[in-house]
Amino acid sequence: MQLGIHLPHIGRKAGPDSIRRAAIQAEELGFDDVWVSEHIIVPKDAGYPPSANFWDPVLTLTWAAAVTTRVRLGTSVLVLPLRHPLPLAKELATLQNLSNGRLILGAGVGWLEAEFDALGVPFKQRGRRMDEGIAMMRAVWTQDPVNFEAQWIPATIRDMRAQPQPVQPIPIWIGGGSDAAIQRALRLDGWHGTRTPPEQAAALVKRLRAERPGPDFVISLRVTCNQHNVALMRDALAVYQDAGVQHVMAAPEDRDIDSYLATAEAFRRCGQGL
């Protein structure tokens, strides 16, 4: 089973030195990948997310890519309906090429309606805009020239060019536990779930493998950990592995960088031998 770690680009521990140290540590410890999340703008008194200090995910991964050579670079997740697919496709293709093909696009529809309102994006159209956005990005990544008929996203693309195209395909893993999210994931390259306790993993894996049995479809889970519970993670990881989960990414909850680094190291030790 492969293991990833979330970078410290959120909250008071976020910063260029923290991100650099965490990315280098992840590579040295043998993690398979490093990850980031996304919120663009949040309500002042929101109970969640706990901090409005979200450093941009694509730029954060570019910073991490510059100080590493091996670890993959993942998003957990980009809220695709909030972004116009054309500039995002350009950013992701550039990152894929700068990193020599290490990017994994974890994507979700989003849930914070106020964030959609602030950006002028219809919240109730987010699923349709996400599907169309993925199709549009895949078109500009693979066609030259590109033609695309858009219905939900303002775009007119007729016999146009978008360079550079990715040096290799960017895998798309879909986050979310709703039926719509799972069905969307099954049409793409992987499922990146959250809040899935170990005792529920086997049933979810069985459901996904009934439709996508091949190794080309990745089943990934995101978990949280901190210095108080990381010792319990080895048993949980063993259950996930036995259930058929291929990848687990841990998001340390520690608020300062030294505690984060210690938790990341402890989590990696928990996964040794799995």
Look at residue 228 in the predicted model and tell me its pLDDT.
Answer: 84
Where residue 177 sits, what CATH number does that domain have? 3.20.20.30
- pLDDT tens profile 208-251: 999 999 999 999 999 999 988 888 899 999 999 999 999 999 99
pLDDT class of 12 with cuts at 50, 70, 90:
very high
Cα–Cα distance for residue pair 7/152, rounded to 1 Å: 33
Tens digit of each residue's pLDDT (9 = 90 or more) over 129-174: 999 999 999 999 999 999 999 999 999 999 999 999 999 999 999 9
Contact yes or no for 234/270 (Cβ under 8 A)? yes
The whole-number pLDDT of residue 232 equals 85
Q: What is the pLDDT of residue 262?
A: 96
Nearest to 151 by CA among 57, 240, 85: 85
Average pLDDT of 178-193? 97
CA angle 129, 201, 38 (to 5 degrees): 35
State how far the alpha carbon of 81 is from the alpha carbons of 88, 90, 131, 182, in Å: 11, 16, 9, 17
pLDDT digits (tens, 9 = 90+) for 191-212: 999 989 999 999 999 999 999 9
Q: Given 9, 27, 38, 39, which residue is catalytic?
A: 39
Residue range of the domain that includes 103: 2-270
70: left (phi over 0), alpha (psi -120 to 50) or beta: alpha
**The pLDDT of residue 273:** 80
Residue 235: phi and psi, rounded to 5, are: -65, -40
pLDDT digits (tens, 9 = 90+) for 50-63: 899 999 999 999 99
Query: For this structure, is 39 an active site residue?
Result: yes
Q: What b/e string do you get for 143-172 counting C-beta neighbours within 10 Å, with b at 16 or more?
A: eeebebeeebbeeebeeeebeebbeeebbb
| Model pLDDT, residue 229 | 85
Measured CA angle at 86 (ends 81, 89), to 5 deg: 90
pLDDT at 65: 98
**pLDDT over 90 (residue 274):** no
Domain count for the chain, please give it. 1
In angstroms, the CA 11 to CA 154 distance is 34
Angle between helices 85-98 and 57-66 (to 10 degrees): 10
On whether the pTM is more than 0.95, the answer is: yes
Q: Is 113 a catalytic residue?
A: yes
Q: Which among 113, 149, 199, 211 is annotated as catalytic?
A: 113
Tokens of 205: 């894996």
| Average pLDDT, rounded, for the chain | 96
What is the residue-wise DSSP string for 134-155? HHHHHHHHH-SSEEE--SSS--
Structure-token pair, residue 158: 């007729």
CA distances to 89, 93, 157, 266 from 153, rounded to whole Å, are: 14, 20, 11, 44
Residues 217 and 27: their CA atoms lie apart, in Å, by 24
